[in-house]
Structure 1
Amino acid sequence: MAGDPVLDGVPCMLIRGGTSKGAFFLAEDLPDDPRERDALLLRIMGTPDPRQVDGIGGAHPLTSKAAIVSRSEMAGIDVDYLFLQLGVDEAVVGTTQTCGNLLAGVGPFAVERGLVDAEASTTSLRVRMLNTDDVATATFATPDGRVDYDGDVGIDGVPGTAGGIRLDVGAGPERSLLPTGNVTDTIDGHEVTLVSNGMPVVLLRASEFGVTGEESPEDLESRPELAETLEGIRRQAGPLMGLGDVTEQTVPKMFLLSAPRAGGAISTRAFIPHRV
């Protein structure tokens, strides 16, 4: 990178993808040294501070994220994407996981910053996710060669509608959807399903933890016993999933599953890993 990022500033785009919002950067605009890069991103987000008042973070893990994008040197790949999960009240930067939400913004960002040329109506590009070595194809509307952010696609957790982005994700080499080889395992007496599909997750029955699935995130976050139990399971699941000691990591995520409400096939409450 050239110049002083503090004095000169760093080009950045804020993009919502799915139910997350993140800061998108070109790799060439950030320091090459990971420690310098992470320190700069923490400063940009305003971490550590529960309000992130001195930065652009939104005081929640879903809005304290960064994507670093560059042209790919790999054959058949258009751009490389590195995801970073930044803490809110703790100065931590996680690179173990990827993020499908911010992946949705990589294509439009690549077009806006000139990494790829937009097609006349619809653009598709191949994205290598550096965190997991998975590859995705992103397809989105580009009428007249410009990204169209408007549309009629709506998702739970986000008000209004926006343009849809299709993501087709393929697993990287030597990856297994079920890292233990089992459909179910038992941890601390609870039946769990461990899944690694871009994001490592632990699936559990909500009823085993006294949860109906109708509780608000605030309600679940106010239950220290529940958080302690889930954290115990999470730490044991880490080594089983090949992640090693996950005490200081943001993966795997913990999902409590229950019967669907207001349509759909299933209801979920996600601990990511501590906020709900």
Structure 2
Amino acid sequence: MAEVLMAVVGAGHPLNIDGIGGGNAVTTKVAMLSISARDDCDVDYFFAQVAVEKREVDFRPTCGNILVGVGPAAIEMGLVPAQDGETTVRIHAVNTGAVVEARVRTPAGRVSYDGDLAIAGVPGTAAPIPLGFMETVGSVTGALLPSGNLRDTIEGIEVTCMDVAMPVMMARADAFGLTGYESQAELDENREFYSRVEAIRIRAGQLMGLGDVTKSVTPKVTLLALPRNGGSITARYFMPWSCHPSMAVTGAQCIATCAILPGTVAEGLTLGLEGRGSPVTVGIEHPSGTFDVRVDFKSKDQGIEILSAGVVRTARLLARGEVMVPEAVWSGAA
């Protein structure tokens, strides 16, 4: 399967010349859909992160931004029957075991993509697709704090290792001599930072029970700072070897949880969240705007219990057709 996906994307070239990838980690993602094997879900969503310049495929993570298109795609592909008005699609994210409910507008039994919702970092407007994430805590590692600590110190840098929808290692931007307000381009040009943070990420992966993560995109990396544009916190999210141009859906849930959990590296970097009860909306400022996450939680003696996380995104149908894979690749995959 990996060989087929690399051939489709064109992995191994910075521009993905021999494939349909876009030369960036956000455009070399693959979603594979099937009728769910679970009685409580409609469709199984299996995700693959194909590398850009390397010939590698990582099946360990999931992707929330790609997941937004799963509901409409499942309806378009005939995997889920459309209802008149709105269709709820229950999605099993196979890679992590999470269950997500997507609500898709389907007037007269057809998916409607037109709407007036604008998403920061996405041109134009489209119909809203609300997503409700359940069973996301410990999605990969089995624990909210897989290292067992609210904070760990690795090579002199304090980090919070957390697993909500996606394993993420979070640190304060100023711990690396950064402001946290740098642009994507500025961060991606700072190869000294990437070299330093990669060594810390690899050690964090070990502390989180993920083993050797040198060739895995998890855990992801996030730098945090005070908000300055009306949000709750500022974040720069890394995939992990390049900066995300906006914000990942799964990563946003982890950042939002870190922001409301006392004692993490986010403490002292949030505005407007202190003393707020459940549910709470956390506005995450990123390079392209602000991403809102609605978190339902229950207070506990030593922290909080996350019940669900909700986001609203958009999607549209781009193309239907066939992607050609060389016969030799199919033979090798078989």
Q: TM-score range by the shorter chain?
A: 0.7 to 0.9
Q: Partner of 2:163: helix, strand, or coil? A: strand
Amino acid at match of 1:182: N
Amino acid at match of 1:241: M
Q: 1:199 aligns with which of 150, 153, 166?
A: 166
2:176 is the alignment partner of 1:209? yes
More deviation, 114-123/222-231:
222-231
Aligned partners of 1:211, 1:155: CA distance in 2, in Å?
27
Q: 2:208 aligns with which of 237, 241, 250?
A: 241
Offset of residue 224 of structure 1 = 2.0
2:127 is the alignment partner of 1:163? yes
1:53-132 residue pairs with structure 2 within 5 A? 53-132=17-96
Counterpart for residue 31 of structure 1: none
Q: Partner of 1:126: helix, strand, or coil? A: strand
Aligned residues: CA RMSD: 1.4
Alpha carbons 2:36, 2:44 under 8 Å: kept: yes
Amino acid at match of 2:105: A
Offset of residue 181 of structure 1 = 2.9
Q: Partner of 1:73: helix, strand, or coil? A: coil
The one-character-per-residue Cα deviations of 1:212-254 (angstroms, maximum 9, x if unpaired) are: 1221111112222211111011000101112111001011111
Aligned partners of 1:164, 1:219: CA distance in 2, in Å?
32
Amino acid at match of 2:242: R
Alpha carbons 2:136, 2:164 under 8 Å: kept: no
Q: Partner of 1:118: helix, strand, or coil? A: coil
Offset of residue 198 of structure 1 = 1.6
Amino acid at match of 2:150: V
The one-character-per-residue Cα deviations of 1:114-168 (angstroms, maximum 9, x if unpaired) are: 0011111111121111101111111121111111112222222212222211111
Q: Partner of 1:77: helix, strand, or coil? A: coil
The TM-score with structure 1 as length reference comes to 0.83
Total equivalences in the alignment = 240
Q: Partner of 1:57: helix, strand, or coil? A: coil
The TM-score with structure 2 as length reference comes to 0.69
Q: 1:48 aligns with which of 3, 9, 12?
A: 12
Offset of residue 173 of structure 1 = 8.9
Aligned partners of 1:176, 1:150: CA distance in 2, in Å?
39
The one-character-per-residue Cα deviations of 1:7-30 (angstroms, maximum 9, x if unpaired) are: xxxxxxxxxxxxxxxxxxxxxxxx
Counterpart for residue 319 of structure 2: none
Offset of residue 188 of structure 1 = 1.4
Aligned partners of 2:147, 2:118: CA distance in 1, in Å?
35
Amino acid at match of 2:159: V
Offset of residue 201 of structure 1 = 0.6
Amino acid at match of 1:252: P
Offset of residue 182 of structure 1 = 2.1
Alpha carbons 2:180, 2:224 under 8 Å: kept: yes
Counterpart for residue 178 of structure 1: 145
Counterpart for residue 251 of structure 1: 218
2:191 is the alignment partner of 1:224? yes
> Which blocks of at least 5 consecutive residues in structure 1 are unaligned?
1-36
Aligned partners of 2:122, 2:23: CA distance in 1, in Å?
17
Amino acid at match of 1:248: K
Aligned partners of 1:117, 1:242: CA distance in 2, in Å?
40
2:233 is the alignment partner of 1:269? no
Amino acid at match of 1:143: P
Offset of residue 172 of structure 1 = 6.0
Amino acid at match of 2:76: E
Alpha carbons 1:97, 1:198 under 8 Å: kept: no
Aligned partners of 1:104, 1:262: CA distance in 2, in Å?
26
Offset of residue 96 of structure 1 = 0.6
1:137-156 residue pairs with structure 2 within 5 A? 137-156=101-120
Matched residues, percent identical? Answer: 46
More deviation, 170-179/216-225:
170-179
